[in-house]
Amino acid sequence: MLRMVGLLVGLLWAVGAQAQAVADLRDGREGEIRFASSSPSGPTALMGGTGPGVEILGTLSLPPGTGRVPAMVVVHGSGGISAGREHAWAKRLLDMGVAAFVTDSFRPRGVSSTARDQSRVPTMAMVADAFAALKLLATHPRIDAGRIGIMGFSKGGQVSLYTALEPLRRAVAGDRRFATHVPLYPSCALPYVAHEVTRAPMLVLMGGADDYTPAAQCARYIDWFRGKGAPIRSIVYPGASHGFDSPAPVRRLDSVQAARDCRMDIELEPVQGRRWDDGALVPPERIGAYLRSCMTRGAHFGGNPAALARAVEDVRAHLAATIGAH
């Protein structure tokens, strides 16, 4: 039933969309923009360029004026785009003098949410979308191509992290790379790792009471990035739950799929899993079985006004230091 609803959503989106997909933004447009991406099922397909093509939707907002400005790609979480989070952050970015490009990886694929089943839109498909957005923004006459960063929430936070991995970037983005990465409460229970990272500056923001994507698991991944030479900083807001920047009160969501009980790195060169407990290798064809065995259900989600206020200032300071926000 949920899949049928998702397909209907995608059909209605396709029928209602008026604009044609664009190859570049040299005309200086903003607003809703359709552009080409791909739908790889996993890292092997992404790095091999074998994902089927798809058109993605994004909403570009520019600060007032005529000069060149920095920009951020804003990547939604498993609940899709909401006015209270993704678009609220876009408005905050505009106030900082930063263009915001909120990408929609779900509706064009006929999906409204992946909260109950994260495989409905693979994370690597959203990584492909983010890199496609980066290349597209670099053609806009008002955007400084060397000052384009990425921020994301939960599932989008993973995308913000993984776009710093060189094998993925080289496969999709060519000579482009994000200037900074700002993941908020990403899942770090099944991190992708590689021999090289871009070494762009990173700021990771997490909640101390997050029982969906625990901050403690990300501490390990942050140390890994730091060991690869990435200038990375992390902040944990005490008492804050998953989605601390949401306007909704904290509540328990019993049906959401969580990876917090998983403990495996996914290496990219070659693609294989490596268990945290005993270091045992997991071949690619068995990674899916491991994921099904470790996934669980239920977590808390909701806003924390104090954490949000701090996060806005922390993001502002980070972007001022990295891409010239104000």
Residue 15 has pLDDT above 70, yes or no: no
The confidence score (pLDDT) of residue 267 equals: 98
DSSP 232-246: EEEEEETT--BTTT-
The confidence score (pLDDT) of residue 3 equals: 45
For the chain, the average pLDDT equals 94
Spatial neighbors of 24 by CB under 8 A, at least 6 apart, are 136, 139
Going 172 to 175 to 176 to 182, the CA torsion angle's sign is positive
Distance CA 47, CA 127 (A): 11
**Residue labelled with tokens 């049906």:** 255
Q: What is the mean pLDDT of residues 266-291?
A: 96
Distance CA 264, CA 280 (A): 9
pLDDT for 32-91, tens place per residue? 999 999 999 999 999 999 999 999 999 999 999 999 999 999 999 999 999 999 999 999
pLDDT for 107-146, tens place per residue? 999 999 999 999 999 999 999 999 999 999 999 999 999 9
Q: Residue 50: exposed, middle, or buried by beta-carbon count in 10 A (0-12, 13-18, 19+)?
A: exposed
Among 98, 31, 103, 102, which residue's Cα sits nearest to residue 71? 98
The confidence score (pLDDT) of residue 113 equals: 98
Residue 13 has pLDDT above 90, yes or no: no
Find out whether 234 and 219 touch, Cβ atoms under 8 Å.
Answer: yes
Alpha helices by DSSP H, 188-276: 215-227
pLDDT for 165-223, tens place per residue? 999 999 999 999 999 999 999 999 999 999 999 999 999 999 999 999 999 999 999 99
The residue type of 246 is: S
Residue 318 has pLDDT above 90, yes or no: yes
The confidence score (pLDDT) of residue 4 equals: 43
